[in-house]
């Protein structure tokens, strides 16, 4: 009997992660990496009850060692690691002056360094098996930076650049790396981290107006596994904004300045 391929999902207990785990379990043996042991083990138990293979990996934010141990556990359990999906941590938003050093450190640890650390551990395993697939998923602020999103944009943009570098460096070795850009989605409201109440209210409204749901994004992320480009924009909603920024740059900047002035009032 041929075994299903293996998939490791980082931040698997997030809103998007839970949906992605459920969808991916139809095609993969799934390892769930997250700090929420209670929810992670419950998700695994539910999958086991449906006849799926699943493994929970307890990974604290910012711990390179936890990610290395997680990859090692997957290899001991299933002897291979075919695919890794790095999902983003909860958004941190607010004015630049109100974004303290602790906010920056948390975003850099939970977004950038967790992605870097898991990529390093996974790539070592994938080199030995001569192939693999990595999707690094970032919020659209990585390519559409705007007001009240400095820390989030900096970390996400760094992941975009990292992905482009790894895509070119590793492609000939059989390891494919793609960065998937996703928009805000409706279910994100419960996990938003804002520096102040006004920013929280503004972005709660913005999230509520999003035309995208986590169910749609989950399917688009899985479809991106077949995409061979360095950058994949998962939503037509984000693609339209990306085109406006690229082709009508002055108008785009003017619109953002007006939005920034509105936020500062």
State pLDDT tens for residues 171-188: 999 999 999 999 999 888
Domain boundaries along the sequence of the chain: 6-237
Name the pTM for this structure. Answer: 0.94
Q: Which superfamily is assigned to 6-237 in CATH?
A: NAD(P)-binding Rossmann-like Domain (3.40.50.720)
| Cα–Cα distance measured from residue 90 to residue 160, given in angstroms and rounded to the nearest whole number | 17
Q: Dihedral (C-alpha) 158, 159, 163, 164: value to the nearest 10 degrees?
A: -30
Residue 262 neighbours by CB under 8 Å, 6+ apart: none
Residue 132 neighbours by CB under 8 Å, 6+ apart: 81, 82, 83, 84, 122, 123, 125, 126, 174, 175, 176
Over its length of 265 residues, how does the chain's per-residue pLDDT go in tens digits? 467 999 999 999 999 999 999 999 999 999 999 999 999 999 999 999 999 999 999 999 889 999 999 999 999 999 999 999 999 998 889 899 888 999 999 999 999 999 999 999 999 999 998 899 999 999 999 999 989 999 999 999 999 999 999 999 999 999 999 999 999 998 888 888 888 898 888 889 989 888 899 999 999 999 999 999 999 998 888 899 899 888 888 988 888 888 888 877 6
State pLDDT tens for residues 83-134: 999 999 988 898 998 889 999 999 999 999 999 999 999 999 999 988 999 9
> Which phi and psi angles does 245 have, rounded to 5°?
-65, -40
Q: What is the pLDDT of residue 1?
A: 43
For residue 25, CA distances in Å to 72, 149, 169, 224 come to 20, 34, 30, 16
Give me the percent of the chain exceeding a pLDDT of 90.
70
3-state secondary structure the chain: CCCCCEEEEECCCCHHHHHHHHHHCCCCEEEEEECCHHHHHHHHHHHHHCCCCEEEEECCCCCHHHHHHHHHHHHHHHCCCCEEEECCCCCEECCHHHCCHHHHHHHHHHHHHHHHHHHHHHHHHHHHHCCEEEEEEEEHHHCCCCCCCHHHHHHHHHHHHHHHHHHHHHHHHCEEEEEEEECCCHHHHHHCEECCHHHHHHHHHHHHCCCCCHHHHHHHHHHHHHCCCCEEECCHHHHHHHHHHHHCHHHHHHHHHHHHHHHHC
| Cα–Cα distance measured from residue 167 to residue 178, given in angstroms and rounded to the nearest whole number | 7
> Which phi and psi angles does 136 have, rounded to 5°?
-100, 115
CB atoms near residue 167 (< 10 Å): 19
């Amino acid at each position: 009997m041929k075994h299903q391929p293996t998939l490791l999902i980082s931040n698997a207990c997030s809103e998007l992660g839970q949906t992605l785990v459920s969808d991916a379990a139809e095609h993969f043996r799934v390892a769930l990496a997250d700090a929420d042991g209670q929810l992670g083990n419950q998700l695994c138990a539910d999958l086991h009850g449906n006849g799926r293979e699943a493994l929970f990996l307890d990974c604290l934010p910012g711990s390179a060692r936890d990610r290395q141990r997680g990859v090692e556990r997957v290899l001991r359990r299933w002897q291979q690691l075919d695919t890794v999906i790095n999902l983003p941590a909860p958004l941190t938003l607010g004015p630049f002056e109100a974004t303290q050093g602790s906010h920056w450190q948390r975003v850099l640890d939970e977004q950038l360094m967790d992605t870097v650390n898991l990529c390093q551990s996974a790539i070592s395993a994938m080199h030995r098996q001569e192939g693999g697939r990595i999707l690094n998923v970032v919020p659209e602020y990585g390519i559409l930076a705007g007001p009240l999103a400095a820390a989030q944009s900096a970390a996400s943009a760094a992941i975009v650049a990292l992905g482009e570098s790894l895509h070119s460096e590793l492609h000939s070795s059989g390891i494919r790396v793609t960065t998937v850009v996703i928009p805000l989605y409706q279910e994100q409201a419960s996990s938003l981290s804002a520096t102040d109440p006004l920013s929280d209210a503004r972005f709660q409204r913005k999230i509520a107006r999003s035309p995208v749901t986590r169910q749609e994004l989950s399917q688009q992320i899985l479809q991106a596994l077949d995409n061979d480009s360095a950058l994949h924009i998962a939503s037509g909603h984000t693609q339209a904004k990306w085109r406006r920024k690229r082709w009508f740059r002055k108008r785009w900047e003017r619109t953002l300045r007006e939005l920034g002035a509105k936020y500062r009032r």
